Amino acid sequence: MEGDEPAGNNERRGTEHSPSGAQRGLRRAAARGGRRKGMGEGRGGGDAMGFVPRCDARPGGWCRSLWASHCHLMRTACSGRSISCGRLMLARPNAGAVRPSASATEPIFSFGVIADVQYADIPDGRSFLGVPRYYRHSLAVLWRAVRSWNAHGGVRFCVNFGDIVDGFCPRDRSLAAVRAVVREFDGFRGGPAYHMLGNHCLYNLPRSELVSELRMPSPPGRAYYDFSPWPGYRFVVLDAYDFSAVGRARGDPVAAAARRFLEARNPNRDKNSPSGLEGAARRFVMFNGGVGGAQLRWLDGVLRGAAARREKAVVCSHLPVHPGAASPTGLMWNYEEVAAVVRRHGGCVVACLAGHDHKGGYAVDDRGVHHRTLEAALECPPGTDAFGRVEVYPDRLRLVGSDRMASTEMLLNSSSSDSVSSTG
Ligand SMILES: Nc1ccn([C@@H]2O[C@H](COP(=O)(O)OP(=O)(O)OC[C@H](O)CO)[C@@H](O)[C@H]2O)c(=O)n1
């Protein structure tokens, strides 16, 4: 419910007001421009040259620095210190903070993005490899994401890239945890929230229950779908665990086939372990999965239709499908097959967005398709954030990230940017 505290989190948050015209102007100015190379430069601590942005606000005043764009977005009273700017939101300035751009116009529409909330009402912990995980705070990150999208006004829908609840959540409390997260998304006033399945969603809950709880607009028995949020644009949401051993009973034929698939590729007794596997072969672990044949054919058909209508398409998946945009252990089992379908409709697909690989990543393939893996909400220490909104322009997508989610400018190649007009 709007204004409610998320369960189990007492962290203070930024205030929300309706923006004045002047502040809206500032936010718009901050939202324009951007670093051409997108993310990957000096993440979180300034740019590649060691530049550390400074906040120009009086302590306690509103931050007006163009180098700390999300201070405007979150409208947080500012400490006036450089890297603690926005005492509730920012431990570090965002790497993709903005510079004026020559081709700035208003976006056609925007959408919110967040990945790997992995909420559980349990004490903080660590990943298998020792990376800290903040299971309760992740819900506060989502809370702030929703307020940010609401405050911005032009955000028409949002996409949650899966792993809504963590596998460590006690089984008998997992449904309540999913509902707590869905309740936060219900606070989003801009439009629908679109969800997808991640491995953690499937550890404790049956997929059919998840599809229903997450209100996926997919036909019965499926967890993949497409939608058109704006004339000339198509979004495809994949089920990356369609072919997987996760979330299926041992006797399930798909699970059995997936186990055989893994057995042939991963010699470890513990199939979650990539130990001894080299390069991209490290993806053959139990916590990953793949897109099955029927879904691949469906994807091909959706993209063929989109191309025929001269739509631009964005493919969303929990698992990344480009080795340059994720660590090998985070990749989809059959990323090449999905990438081949995407490449077949290369002028139509402008971006593939994903979650799962918590540190995030970015690559552009040889057809100019942008692959952006989003940083996880779960790994945000209290007081930090990882969410964003993607502004869609005729010639680019612009991810405006908050804090740990780096901003990324994704220029479309001319065949894509010509495919539809700005009004569809
Ligand atoms: N080397 C490993 C890694 C993981 N496990 C176990 O597998 C399960 C899932 O791992 P987890 O890190 O929680 O999966 P996420 O989806 O959150 O993250 C995926 C990565 O970021 C991909 O790059 C869990 O039970 C781990 O303990 C393992 O046994 N051995």
**271-329 confidence digits (pLDDT tens):** 999 999 999 999 999 999 999 999 999 999 999 999 999 999 999 999 999 999 999 99
90 band by pLDDT with thresholds 50, 70 and 90: very low
The encoded tokens of residue 282 equal 């490290």
287 Cα–ligand 1 center, Å: 6
As assigned by CATH, the class of the 109-411 domain is: alpha beta
Ligand 1: atom nearest CA of 128 is 27
User: Residues lining ligand 1, judged by CB closer than 6 Å?
Assistant: 127-128, 163, 167, 199-200, 270, 272-274, 287, 327, 329-330, 356-358
106 Cα–ligand 1 center, Å: 40
Q: What is the pLDDT of residue 232?
A: 98
The encoded tokens of residue 112 equal 């919110």
Beta strands in 56-149 (DSSP E): 109-114, 125-126, 132-133
Helix/strand/coil percentages in the chain, nearest 5: 25, 20, 55
Distance CA 133, CA 328 (A): 21
The position carrying tokens 């698939």 is 261
Per-residue pLDDT of 185-202, as tens digits, reads 999 999 999 999 999 999
Q: Whose CA is nearest to atom 28 of ligand 1?
A: 272
Report yes or no: 244 and 261 within 8 Å, Cβ to Cβ.
Answer: no
Q: Whose CA is nearest to atom 21 of ligand 1?
A: 357
Lowest mean pLDDT among 136-140, 141-145, 413-417: 413-417
Ligand 1: atom nearest CA of 127 is 12
Ligand 1: atom nearest CA of 378 is 17
* Amino acid at position 62, single letter: W
71 band by pLDDT with thresholds 50, 70 and 90: very low
Mutate to test the pocket of ligand 1, among 127, 134, 319 (most ligand atoms within 8 A of CB): 127
413 band by pLDDT with thresholds 50, 70 and 90: confident
Q: Whose CA is nearest to atom 8 of ligand 1?
A: 287
62 Cα–ligand 1 center, Å: 40
330 Cα–ligand 1 center, Å: 9
Report yes or no: 401 and 94 within 8 Å, Cβ to Cβ.
Answer: yes
227-253 core/surface letters (b: 16 or more CB in 10 A; e: else): eebbebbbbbbbbbbbbbbbbbeeeee
- 162 sits in the region (left: phi over 0; alpha: psi -120 to 50; else beta) called left
- 241 sits in the region (left: phi over 0; alpha: psi -120 to 50; else beta) called alpha
Q: What is the pLDDT of residue 416?
A: 73
Q: Whose CA is nearest to atom 22 of ligand 1?
A: 330
Distances (CA, A) of 217 to 12, 164, 214: 35, 17, 9
204 Cα–ligand 1 center, Å: 15
**Burial (Cβ within 10 Å: 0-12, 13-18, ≥19) of residue 171:** exposed
Q: Whose CA is nearest to atom 24 of ligand 1?
A: 128
Ligand 1: atom nearest CA of 118 is 17
Distances (CA, A) of 4 to 180, 186, 351, 416: 11, 11, 34, 42
pTM of this structure: 0.79
Query: Is the pLDDT score of 110 beyond 60?
Result: yes
129 Cα–ligand 1 center, Å: 8
In the chain, where the domains are located: 109-411
Question: In which element (H, E) is residue 225 found?
Answer: strand 225-230
Per-residue pLDDT of 158-173, as tens digits, reads 999 999 999 999 999 9
**DSSP string covering 258-281:** HHHHHHTT---SSTT--TT--GGG
